[in-house]
């Protein structure tokens, strides 16, 4: 694997940091997850469970080794320092200033290990006017302008169905860590990565903010790009059985196929241009939307999809989570594996998409129990049995 031999000290919790370090583990790194004694990472309590253990927690912490350390104690910090000395990468997701209080901030870590790649993942970064605000995904999506895309007059926007800020931050952290490791291979020097979930999501809003960027340059931002339901040919529609489909008829040739399929050649515009592709189609929009809606409402979802697929019209069913998980495509691409858990039995797990390219493990061990590797890791760090006994007695681990 690409990261064989790389040791990651994972001080992160919840979603962005753990998903980042799970990806590093998939790429071959050894990841040691540091948790608080007793309860561990608070996301262990997130519902639902396979039986006793959180499905959520398992989905972002597979393939890791868990140790428990009370970082508020001097002994706990001594353990952390030993681990940092030997690590190649450290990931933390504390609020700005907390790592310094715990004596594991970048300056302290750099003094212990100048070649360390130190990665902080926070909501709004280590600096700036919002650095003190908790990095909840919903807040970041709200402030980035992304959540506001679904706003309608007199109605609050829907709560987004995807944790875009969390995953944007995690993804940027992985990219940054891989880049820093390449830099270290050339220079021998470590790096200090300040990864903000807001920055990461904001940079990915280049399509969402096209209108605002145009206006910032002194233009009108009109016509706007319509990919959030304003384009009747790129939208969602109900079917006869009260299910729904996604319609993607952006290109003229696809629209022609659809019009011929429903025997409405009168809807074909010979003058349609590339500029119309992502528009709202102006005066034609209502007629387009009505034709598509009537077509979809005339048949049950799966019957409609089957017919349109045969006629070269790209419509897709809008799956429920259970339908998606059990879909033919997920099975065909090998995106779900089944792992044997010592207590839960056989459990499903997501497969890293890079496994198909041979860059990531095709399977990973289930998420560890709280502190299950404490003894082995501390022994490997050189702590004597009597010292570990003292740690246990004092509740340090």
C-alpha distance from residue 274 to each of 201, 213, 230, 250, 253 (Å): 29, 21, 17, 10, 12
Phi, psi for 282 (deg, rounded to 5): 50, -125
Mean pLDDT of 319-343: 96
pLDDT given at position 37: 96
Tell me: pLDDT of 12 over 80.
yes
**What does the pLDDT look like over 332-372, one tens digit per residue?**
999 999 999 999 999 999 999 999 999 999 899 999 999 99
pLDDT given at position 347: 96
**What does the pLDDT look like over 180-209, one tens digit per residue?**
999 999 999 999 999 999 999 999 999 999
Phi, psi for 350 (deg, rounded to 5): -75, 145
pLDDT given at position 254: 95
pLDDT given at position 152: 77
Looking at the chain, the whole-number percentage of residues with pLDDT higher than 70 is 100
Tell me: pLDDT of 274 over 80.
yes
End-to-end CA distance of the chain: 31
pLDDT given at position 131: 96
pLDDT given at position 134: 87
Tell me: pLDDT of 229 over 90.
no
pLDDT given at position 313: 95
Cα separation of 286 and 5, whole Å? 60
**What does the pLDDT look like over 245-257, one tens digit per residue?**
999 999 999 999 9
Lowest mean pLDDT among 21-25, 92-96, 223-227: 223-227
β partners of residue 315 = 247
Q: How confident is the model at residue 228 (pLDDT cuts 50, 70, 90)?
A: confident
**What does the pLDDT look like over 282-313, one tens digit per residue?**
999 999 999 999 999 999 999 999 999 999 99
pLDDT given at position 100: 97
C-alpha distance from residue 189 to each of 98, 123, 208 (Å): 25, 26, 37
Cα separation of 34 and 18, whole Å? 11
pLDDT given at position 249: 96
SS3 244: strand
pLDDT given at position 202: 97
Cα separation of 126 and 117, whole Å? 16
Phi, psi for 37 (deg, rounded to 5): -60, 140
Mean pLDDT of 267-286: 92
Tell me: pLDDT of 155 over 90.
no
Q: Determine contact, residues 68/79, Cβ cutoff 8 Å.
A: no
Residue with tokens 């290109």: 251
pLDDT given at position 148: 85
C-alpha distance from residue 62 to each of 26, 48, 65, 341 (Å): 9, 17, 9, 11
Q: What is the mean pLDDT of the chain?
A: 96
Q: Determine contact, residues 122/96, Cβ cutoff 8 Å.
A: yes
Cα separation of 118 and 25, whole Å? 17
pLDDT given at position 60: 98
Extract the tokens encoding 47: 């519902």
Q: Is 218 left (phi over 0), alpha (psi -120 to 50) or beta?
A: left
Mean pLDDT of 54-70: 98
Q: Which residues have a Cβ under 8 Å from the Cβ of 58 and sit 6 or more positions away? A: 50, 347, 349, 366, 367
- Domains of the chain plus CATH, in order, are 7-204+335-393 (3.40.50.10540), 234-324 (3.30.1540.10)
pLDDT given at position 335: 97
Phi, psi for 67 (deg, rounded to 5): -125, 150
Tell me: pLDDT of 327 over 80.
yes
DSSP letter for 43, please: G
**What does the pLDDT look like over 112-153, one tens digit per residue?**
999 999 999 999 999 999 999 988 999 999 999 988 887 778
**What does the pLDDT look like over 13-58, one tens digit per residue?**
999 999 999 999 999 999 999 999 999 999 999 999 999 999 999 9
């Amino acid at each position: 694997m690409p990261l064989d031999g790389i040791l990651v000290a994972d001080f992160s919790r919840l979603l962005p940091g753990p998903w980042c370090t799970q990806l590093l583990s998939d790429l071959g790194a050894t990841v040691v997850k540091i948790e608080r004694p007793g309860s561990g990472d608070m996301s262990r309590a997130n519902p639902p469970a396979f039986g006793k253990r959180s499905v959520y927690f398992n989905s972002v912490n597979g393939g890791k080794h868990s140790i428990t350390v009370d970082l508020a104690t001097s002994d706990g910090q001594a353990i952390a320092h030993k681990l940092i000395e030997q690590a190649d990468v450290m990931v933390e997701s504390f609020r700005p200033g907390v790592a310094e209080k715990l004596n594991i901030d970048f300056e302290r870590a750099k003094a212990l290990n100048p070649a360390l790649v130190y990665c902080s993942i926070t909501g709004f970064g280590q600096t700036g006017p919002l650095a003190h605000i908790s990095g909840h995904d919903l807040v970041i999506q709200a402030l980035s302008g992304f959540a506001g895309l679904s706003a309608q007059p007199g109605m609050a926007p829907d709560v987004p169905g995807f944790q875009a800020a969390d995953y944007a931050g995690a993804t940027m952290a992985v990219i940054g860590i891989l880049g820093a490791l390449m830099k270290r291979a050339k220079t021998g020097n470590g790096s200090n990565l300040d990864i903000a979930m807001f920055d990461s999501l904001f940079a990915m809003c280049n399509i969402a903010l096209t209108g605002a960027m145009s206006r910032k340059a002194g233009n009108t931002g009109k016509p706007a790009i319509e990919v959030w339901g304003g384009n009747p040919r790129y939208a969602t529609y109900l079917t006869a059985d009260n299910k729904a489909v996604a319609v993607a008829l952006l290109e003229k040739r696809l629209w022609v196929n659809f019009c011929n399929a429903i025997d409405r050649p009168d809807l074909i515009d010979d003058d349609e241009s590339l500029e119309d592709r992502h528009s709202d189609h102006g005066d034609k929009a209502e007629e387009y939307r009505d034709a598509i809606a009537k077509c979809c409402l005339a048949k049950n979802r799966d019957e409609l999809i089957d017919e349109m697929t045969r006629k070269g019209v790209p419509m897709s069913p809008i799956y429920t989570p259970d339908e998606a998980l059990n879909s033919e495509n997920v099975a065909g691409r090998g995106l779900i594996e089944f792992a044997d858990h010592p207590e839960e039995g056989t459990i499903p797990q997501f497969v890293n998409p890079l496994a198909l390219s041979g860059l990531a493990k095709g399977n990973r061990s289930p998420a560890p129990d709280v502190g299950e590797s404490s003894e082995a890791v501390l022994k490997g760090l050189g702590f004597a049995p009597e010292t570990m006994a003292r740690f246990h007695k004092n509740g340090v681990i």
